[in-house]
A and B are shown apart, each in its own frame.
Chain A
Amino acid sequence: MQVGTSAEAATLHGERVIREIKASGIEFVISVPDITTSEGLLRPLAHETTPRLIRICKEDEGVGICAGLAYTGKRALLLIQQTGMLDSINAIRGVAVEYSLPICMMVGLLEKEPGVPPRQSKRYGVRIVEPILDAMGIPYHEIEGDADLGRIKPAIDEAYAGSHPVVLLIGRRPS
């Protein structure tokens, strides 16, 4: 994926991400704060009534909450940092992958260099994310700029239609 070649790729507007989240039918956002998405996504979402924000103590809790909601037909988004995703690998393995549930995760990539693909990051904790998702068979999409916004709704729709997890990797701080 080529990134950083246009103004659209170089900017990610938080309100546009939130618009896509709402357009995807998300009724609940389940979150542990993440510095990449803190100001541009989580803080404005906290002022919304829909989707409803549920603050959790640890990311694997969110996997369980999203699973329970999925059985009731309610769509949810787990908004976390990649460190929390890595901490929750066993829950994602068991609940999302082996039980084939539509656990949708929006994951801020802590310390990823803007415009640099995650696999080429100088940060070990960023470089390993996509290979781990590949190993787990979990589809993912890089959301680096506004040009990528069109990936969000189809990814979430497909996760629910096919009952499988999906990860949306937020590669820069939304403005």
Chain B
Amino acid sequence: MMRRDECLKTLARHVTDADIVLPVYSTAFDWIDIRPHPLNYLSHGAMGLASSHALGLALGRPDKRVIVLDGDGSLLMNLGSLVTIGEVAPPNLYHFVCENGTYEANGGHPIPGRGNVAFAGFARSAGYRAVHEFADLKNFDQQIGAVLAEPGPVFIDLKIVSGGPQERDYSRIHGPQVRKAFREALAAR
């Protein structure tokens, strides 16, 4: 298992200024402190829709890498998106799931099928071009650069544990200023 914040710091070293990143819930609060950037797309509503927003962005901006940092609970709410993404097959979409086995943002209750569900298997069956799993930070650090150079859609299952307590100011995710900043940054790039 990797600490999520350490994992995200490693990933951040490989994310460029041109990339769009969609972090979800608890991951979002870690990510916006680790890599504050106007091309962080934070407002995806609820109920697991981040991967669908990511598909729309990937279709509309094929010149950009679109990186979604999903949660395992979130992905379970929108499993069909794996099949849709597999069929559309956008080469610029990188779908990470931070798997900690809990609905962390809603009290830390276990997800159904915790420890038994194979998210990588779902993605493979849905038709993602490449699927990876990482549970070791050193291994992740060594390989993530090459993974982000593969043609998408690529699915990456990160076996993580929370990095600790968070300050969750949801206006940093849902506030209109966040969407305005993203809209302007995307139009400018």
A contacts, CB < 8 Å to B: 28, 54-58, 60-74, 76, 90-91, 94-95, 98-99
Contact = CB atoms under 8 A, between A and B. Distances in A.
A76 B56 contact: yes
B106 to A, nearest CB: 15
A66 B56 contact: yes
A91 B45 CA distance: 7
B83 A57 contact: yes
Interface string B105-138: 0000000000000000000000000000000000
Interface string B143-164: 0000000000000000000000
Interface of B: 41, 43-47, 49-61, 78, 80-81, 83-84, 87-88, 174, 179, 182-183, 186-187
B84 A54 contact: yes
B52 A65 contact: yes
B53 A67 contact: yes
Given A57-B80, A63-B49, A72-B57, 7 more contacts: A55-B87, A60-B47, A65-B53, A71-B41, A74-B59, A94-B46, A95-B49
A76 B45 CA distance: 19
Contacts of B84: 54-57, 61, 65
B163 to A, nearest CB: 27
Contact of A91 (B43, B49, B186): B49
Nearest to B52: A64
Counting chain A CB atoms within 10 Å of each CB, the highest count among B44, B45, B187 belongs to B45
Nearest to A52: B59
Contacts of B57: 68-69, 71-72
20 contacts: A54-B84, A56-B80, A58-B78, A60-B78, A64-B49, A64-B52, A64-B56, A65-B52, A67-B53, A68-B54, A69-B56, A69-B59, A71-B56, A72-B60, A72-B61, A74-B60, A95-B44, A95-B45, A99-B45, A99-B179
